[in-house]
Structures are given as C-alpha cells and as structure tokens.
Chains A and B, each alone.
Chain A
Amino acid sequence: MAGRDYLGEFEHIIMLALLRLEDRAYGVTVRQEIELRTKREVSIGAVYATLDRLEKKGYVKSRRSDPTPERGGRSKRFFRVTAQGVTAVNQIQRALSSMSEGLGMIGSYS
C-alpha cells in the first residue's frame, strides 16, 4: 500500500465505528458512536465527507434503504467496510501498536 493511502485519524475512527456497528452503520449511528466513545461533537457533514473519501479509496461500500416515515420519507445510506478497508485498518493498528510498544505509561511524558 502506498504511504498516501494510509488512513488519517478521523478516517481511522470512522472505520472502527463501521466495524463496531456492522450492519447498523448509517450516518446517525456512526456519528453517535463516535461522540459516545471519543466525547467530541462531530457534524454529520464531516462524517459523510470522510465516508465519501473512504468509498472513493475502496475501503467502504454503501447502499440505500427505502424511505421511512420517521425520517420524513427520506432514505438511509448504510455503509460497510470492504476487505481492502479491513486490511488498511489492520495495517494502521499494527503501525500504532508498534510505535507505542514499550512506552507503557505515555501519560508520564506530559
């Protein structure tokens, strides 16, 4: 994989959220999962902008559901991680764990 194809921080977080949510991953659940776990407010636009980028890279695939009344007759766009996406996540996870190996207490550096 070329260096430029590495996942950015927010891309990484979104990919992990998609993997956690499995087949329940759409805009609302992804945004809420990130807010719940990272404690930072995220806009739905930022989530979609990143998901579109990931889809172009081939790490994510999307499909549309039928419109539902609780969404004012609008459809949902569900996302899932592709095999290529799983490889990218594994690669960044390995890189991060390798970089933090032996650093036991990172808090002591601050």
Chain B
Amino acid sequence: MTSQARFVQPPRFATWLVNLFTVPQDDSIVGDLFEEFRNLASRSGVGFARRWYWRQAVKTAASLFTLGWLAAPWSTAAAVLGGFLLAGYVNGLPDKALSVATDRYLLYWSSHFQAYLWLLRGMLIGHIFASLFVGSMVALAAKGREMVATMTLALIFCAMAGIGCLWLVAKTGEIASLSGLLWYWADPLAIVVGGIIVRRRRSPMTAVGSA
C-alpha cells in the first residue's frame, strides 16, 4: 500500500450518507466500504477509489432504505401516516396566525404594506419550522428507521407538489408556475432535516466528522 493511500480518507459526506441508514451501533457496512476504499486507492489511485466509494455509498443508502421498509413495513407506514396528518394540522398554524394578525391590525397593515410583505415572508419561514417539527416527530416515532420514514413522507409531499404544479401549468399554460415548486419543496426538505437531527442525536456515528 502506498504511503498516500494509507492516510487517505474516503469522502466524509458519502460515509455520513450511509450511516444515516445503517442500524445504530453497526459499523460493519462502513468498515467494509473503508477497507475496499483503501485497497482500491493503493491499486488504482485515489480519484478512482473516491468515485467508486461515492457510487457504492449511494447504492448502499438506496438498498438500506428499501431494507428499512421491508424490516418493519407497518410501523414505518404508521409513522408516515401520522406525520402526514400532523403536517396537515401543524402547517396550517402559520396561516391561522397570519389570518389573526391581519384581522387584528388591519389598519396598521394598510398604512405599512411593506411590513405586511415581511410578515408574509415570515409565514413561509414558519412553514419550514413547522415541517422541521413534523420531521422530528416522525423520526422519534420511527426509531431506528428515522430516515426511511421522514424521506418517504418528504417524497410524498414532493410528489403532491409536483403533480399540483403540473396540473396548474396544464390548466393555465403558465410555465412560470413551476418556479413555485422550489418553495413547495422547502417543506419536504425541512422534514428530512428534522429526521437527520433526531437521527444524529440518537446515533453519534452519523456526525459528518466521524468518517
């Protein structure tokens, strides 16, 4: 093994990605990837080994995602369904707060429209915090399969937003409506981030620096 290969580390983010889906305290999968990475780096070069590692990490995360579903389909589905219902309730709270604030201070907003626009932007941030909360709750319910449950819920919301936007474009013919997808996908992303936060607190191996 060359001296460079002996000290080279695999991509940290790829390792972190795999650790999100492994069973907590089980380091054998990452250990196998590490061992093969070192051997490949000494035989075929660091660049080749890094590309191989990334390919393996993505495929492994996808396999472990499926495995997580197959291991406990009913409890995972229950966590996702609970998250879906919770999101329906929690995501409505910023809108209700906005409605109350608008009604109560109508005179003020009419003379300070710029401030009202800031309030609207604040509502979007409120949505993101609500989604973070939902993601955390789903991850807490789906112990050991935090990422499987939160990613499934996020994919459902992404698909719903995508279908909604396509329907709108088909109906109005305005392609610009698709730009709204970026905002709609911020909420599902926040759900996944909520899952990652809970997962990291439960399993120290998922810290990026643990590669």
B54-62, B87-95, B174-182, B185-193 - interface stretch: B54-62
Assembled-state Cα–Cα distance A27/B37 (Å): 13
Assembled-state Cα–Cα distance A19/B210 (Å): 34
Assembled-state Cα–Cα distance A44/B33 (Å): 8
Assembled-state Cα–Cα distance A67/B31 (Å): 9
Report whether B34 and A74 are in contact in the complex, using a CB–CB cutoff of 8 Å: yes
**Given A28-B36, A43-B56, A70-B38, A48 and B31 contact (CB-CB distance below 8 Å):** no
Interface residue? A72 (CB, 8 A): yes
Interface residue? A93 (CB, 8 A): no
A-B pairs under 8 A by CB, number: 74
Report whether B62 and A44 are in contact in the complex, using a CB–CB cutoff of 8 Å: no
Report whether A43 and B27 are in contact in the complex, using a CB–CB cutoff of 8 Å: no
Interface residue? B32 (CB, 8 A): yes
Assembled-state Cα–Cα distance A64/B26 (Å): 10
CB closest chain-B residue, reference A71: B31
Q: Across the interface, which residues of B come within 8 angstroms of A86, CB to CB?
A: none
CB closest chain-A residue, reference B31: A74
In the complex, which of the residues A31, A52, A64 contacts B32, with contact meaning CB atoms closer than 8 Å?
Answer: A31
Q: Across the interface, which residues of B come within 8 angstroms of A46, CB to CB?
A: 59-60, 63
Interface residue? A49 (CB, 8 A): yes
Assembled-state Cα–Cα distance A43/B60 (Å): 6
Report whether B64 and A45 are in contact in the complex, using a CB–CB cutoff of 8 Å: yes
Report whether B31 and A44 are in contact in the complex, using a CB–CB cutoff of 8 Å: no
Interface residue? B2 (CB, 8 A): no
Interface residue? A77 (CB, 8 A): yes
**Given A26-B32, A28-B35, A44-B32, A74 and B27 contact (CB-CB distance below 8 Å):** yes
Interface residue? B30 (CB, 8 A): yes
Report whether B66 and A49 are in contact in the complex, using a CB–CB cutoff of 8 Å: yes
11 contacts between A and B (CB under 8 A): A26-B28, A27-B28, A27-B31, A27-B32, A31-B36, A44-B29, A45-B56, A45-B64, A71-B32, A71-B35, A76-B32
